[in-house]
A and B are shown apart, each in its own frame.
Chain A
Amino acid sequence: MNSGAYFKLVQTGLLSAYRDRSMLITDLVIATGVPFFIQFAIWAFVYQEASTDTLTHYSLEETYVYYLAVLALNRLNNSYDLILRVSTHVHEGQLEGIFIKPISYFNYNLFVFIGGSVLYYIPILIISTFVIILWGAWTGVLGFIVLSVMNLYFCFVLGFLLSLSAFWLTRPDMALSFQVVLASVIGGTLLPIAYWPDYLEPLMRYNPFRLIISGPAEFLLRPSVDLLIELLCLYVVWFFVLLVTCKITFRFASNRYSGAGG
C-alpha cells in the first residue's frame, strides 16, 4: 500500500465529517460548549464559597483552562463514530465489501478515523494559542499539542478494541455507553484526578482513558519531566497491551464472522 492510499482515506474521513455539518455543529457547539458553561457555573460557585483562591491544585483560571482542554480532547479522542461504523459494517454485512479490498480492515479504519478527527483538532490549536497569549507557557503547550497528536492513534486502538464487541453483540449501545462513561469519569472529563478520593487515585492515574483526556490537559497546566515520563511509560505499556488484544480479538472475530445472508 502506498502513502497516497492512506492520504486518500484520511481525506475521505475528513470529507465525511465535513459533509455531516449538523453533527459537526452539535459536537463543537453543543457537546463542547454546554458542558463547559455548566462547569464554568459550578466552579465559579465553588471558588466563590472557598476561603482561598486555590483549591488543592488549580486556581479558578487554571480550572477553566483544564475544562476547556479536557472537553476539546474528549471530542477529539472520541471513538463513537468508529464504534458505530464497525458495528454497521458487521451487522449489515458491509464488512465483505472491505475485506475483499487490498487493505487491512485495521488500517482502513485508522486512516478514516484520523481524517474524521482533523476538524476537531482546531479547538486544540485555539486553546494552545489562548494559553500562550495568557501565560506564555510554551513547554506545556508544546507537550499538549504533541500528546494530543499521539493520542489519536492510541484512542483509535482503544476504540477499535471496543468496536470489536459488535461481532458478539446485537447492538453497539453497550460499547458506546462504555466509551462515553469511561472517557467522562475515569478519563477525567468530569473531575480532575487531584479532586478524587485517595483510594481511587491509582485507578484514575493508571487507566488508559487518562492518557487520551486528562493526561495532556495536566501537562498543559503543570508541565514537568516526571509527568512526561509517567505519561510516556503509560502510553507504551497500554499501547502494547491494547494492540496485542486488538489483533487477537480481531482474528477471533473475523473467523467467527459469517456475514449477513446473500
Chain B
Amino acid sequence: MMCSVVREIIIGALMEISIDVRKVSKDYYLAKESRNIKEWFKQILKPEYLSFQALSEVNFTLPKGAAVGFIGPNGAGKSSLIKILCGIQKPTFGQVSVLGYNPALREKEFLGQIGVVFGHKSSLWWDLPVKTSFDTYKEIYGIQDNDYQERLSELTEALNLTKVLHKPVRNLSLGERVKCELTLNFLHAPKLIFLDEPTVGLDVTSKYEIRKYLNYKRKTENLSVFLTSHDLGDIESCCDDAIIIDRGKIRFDGTMQELSTNFKSNVKLTVTLKDMSQSETGFMLFKRAMEDFKSTSIINDLPTQITYLVPKALLGSVYGMFSEEIYDIEVSPVDFENNVVNLFKTWSGE
C-alpha cells in the first residue's frame, strides 16, 4: 500500500516535468583515418577508433508547458541532445526521462506523445502529394477521423498551407516543406515538441507563422517546447528559458529575463570618423589605445567606422579618449544576437 502511494507521488511529480536530464554524456567513436596503404591494411585488420565527447555531464529539467531555447554554435551538441531526448541515440552515461519514459526504449506510447521536426530533414514522401503523407501518418498515430480533420484544417489555415496539400512534396518551396513537416508533427497533438533548427532558410513570413502557431499551441494546450535555432529571434519569440551550450557543456541555464539582465552589462559603442582625409592617423591611434581594454571586443570594423562591445563599467574610461572634433560616437544597447556571439568568442578563447 505504502509502495503504491510513493509510486503515485513519484509518477505525479514526474508528470509535471517534461524532460529530466541528469549527468548525460555522449561519446562518439570515429574510425581513424589512414594516411597510407600500410595504415589502411592495419585499419582493416585491427581498426582503431578516436573518441570525442559531444556532451559532457549535461543536467537540466523542463517543466510541463515550458519552452526552452537551446543556443550553441555548430557542433556544440544540440542535435546530439535532441537525438538522445527522442530516443534515436543512447547516452554514454547519465539518466534521461522524457514525459516519464526512458526515450532509449522507444516505446510506441512515448513516441505517440512527442513530435520532432528536423528543419533540414524530411519524413514526407518526396514524390507523393503532401496529403498522402498526412493520411498515412494519421493511421500510424491512430488519430480519430474527427480530430484529424479538425487539426488539419486548423494547421493548414494557421500556416497558410491550404493550396499545397495536393502538391507533390518535391514541388514545394523550402518554407512550405518545413511547415508541412510541422503540420505532420502536430497532427497527433503531442505533449512535447522538439524543433531542431525549424526556421533554417525560411523567409520572415514563414518564420512569423511558425512562431505564432507555436505560441498559440503553448497557450491553448500547455505544449512543452524544446527548440534549437541559430536564429535567436525564434528563441526570443517562443521561449521562456534559455540554455547555452558550448563544446558539449552547459554554460548558461536560466530564464530569458536572466539572460537579458546579464547581457545588459554591455553596451554597443559605434565610433564614426567625421573626415577621413584629416584624421586617419588619429583613428588608427585610437584603435590601438582601445586594444589595451581587454574586456572590450570588436563587433564590426569598417574603414571609417568601428563598433565595440564595451562593459558599462568601462564606458567612463573609454569616453575620456575621444576627441569630439574628429569622431562621432553613439552608445546603444547590444542586441541579443551580438551578445551571444560575444559569449561564444569569449569561451572559444578559454
Which of A's residues lie within 8 Å of B, judged by CB? 1-2, 4-5, 7-9, 11-12, 15-16, 19-20, 92-103, 255, 257-259, 261-262
Pairwise interchain contact A101-B136, C-beta atoms closer than 8 A = no
In whole angstroms, how far apart are the Cα atoms of A261 and B77 in the complex? 10
Interface residue from A5, A94, A102, A258 paired with B111 (Cβ < 8 Å): A102
Q: Tell me, yes or no, whether B87 is within 8 Å of chain A by CB.
A: yes
Pairwise interchain contact A101-B196, C-beta atoms closer than 8 A = no
Pairwise interchain contact A262-B196, C-beta atoms closer than 8 A = yes
Pairwise interchain contact B136-A259, C-beta atoms closer than 8 A = no
Stretch at the interface among B118-126, B212-220, B301-309: B118-126
Which residues of chain A are near B114, meaning CB under 8 Å?
Answer: 100
Whether A7 touches B139, Cβ cut-off 8 Å, given contacts A96-B116, A98-B123, is yes
Pairwise interchain contact A259-B83, C-beta atoms closer than 8 A = yes
Closest to A9 in B: B136
Which residues of chain A are near B122, meaning CB under 8 Å?
Answer: 94, 97
Pairwise interchain contact A8-B88, C-beta atoms closer than 8 A = no
Interface residue from A98, A257, A262 paired with B197 (Cβ < 8 Å): A262
Contact with A along B58-92 (1 / 0, CB 8 A): 00000000000000001100010001001111100
Q: Which of B114-157 contact A (CB under 8 A)?
A: 114, 116, 118, 120-123, 125, 127-128, 132-133, 135-142
Which of B's residues lie within 8 Å of A, judged by CB? 28, 74-75, 79, 83, 86-90, 106, 108-109, 111-112, 114, 116, 118, 120-123, 125, 127-128, 132-133, 135-142, 168, 196-197
Which residues of chain A are near B140, meaning CB under 8 Å?
Answer: 1, 5, 8-9, 101-103
Pairwise interchain contact A12-B132, C-beta atoms closer than 8 A = yes
List 7 A–B pairs whose Cβ atoms lie within 8 Å, in order of A's numbering: A92-B121, A96-B118, A100-B116, A101-B137, A102-B109, A259-B89, A262-B197
Interface residue from A16, A96, A98, A262 paired with B127 (Cβ < 8 Å): A16
Which residues of chain B are near A101, meaning CB under 8 Å?
Answer: 111, 123, 137, 140-141
In whole angstroms, how far apart are the Cα atoms of A94 and B128 in the complex? 17
Pairwise interchain contact B123-A97, C-beta atoms closer than 8 A = yes
CB-CB nearest 3 A-B residue pairs: A97-B123, A5-B139, A102-B108
Closest to A2 in B: B142
Which residues of chain B are near A255, meaning CB under 8 Å?
Answer: 90
Interface residue from B28, B74, B108, B138 paired with A1 (Cβ < 8 Å): B108
Which residues of chain B are near A259, meaning CB under 8 Å?
Answer: 79, 83, 88-89
Pairwise interchain contact B136-A8, C-beta atoms closer than 8 A = yes
Which residues of chain A are near B87, meaning CB under 8 Å?
Answer: 99-100
B147 CB, min distance to chain A CBs, angstroms: 15
In whole angstroms, how far apart are the Cα atoms of A259 and B116 in the complex? 15
Closest to B109 in A: A102
B59 CB, min distance to chain A CBs, angstroms: 23
A262 CB, min distance to chain B CBs, angstroms: 5
Pairwise interchain contact A102-B112, C-beta atoms closer than 8 A = yes
Pairwise interchain contact B83-A102, C-beta atoms closer than 8 A = no
In whole angstroms, how far apart are the Cα atoms of A233 and B139 in the complex? 36
Whether A16 touches B125, Cβ cut-off 8 Å, given contacts A9-B136, A100-B86, A262-B196, is yes
B57 CB, min distance to chain A CBs, angstroms: 20
In whole angstroms, how far apart are the Cα atoms of A246 and B1 in the complex? 45
Interface centre among B88, B109, B132 (most CB of A within 10 A): B88
Which residues of chain A are near B135, meaning CB under 8 Å?
Answer: 8
11 additional contacts, CB 8 Å, given A9-B140, A15-B128? A1-B108, A5-B140, A96-B88, A99-B88, A99-B106, A100-B114, A102-B112, A103-B140, A261-B75, A262-B79, A262-B197
Closest to B89 in A: A258
Which residues of chain A are near B111, meaning CB under 8 Å?
Answer: 100-102
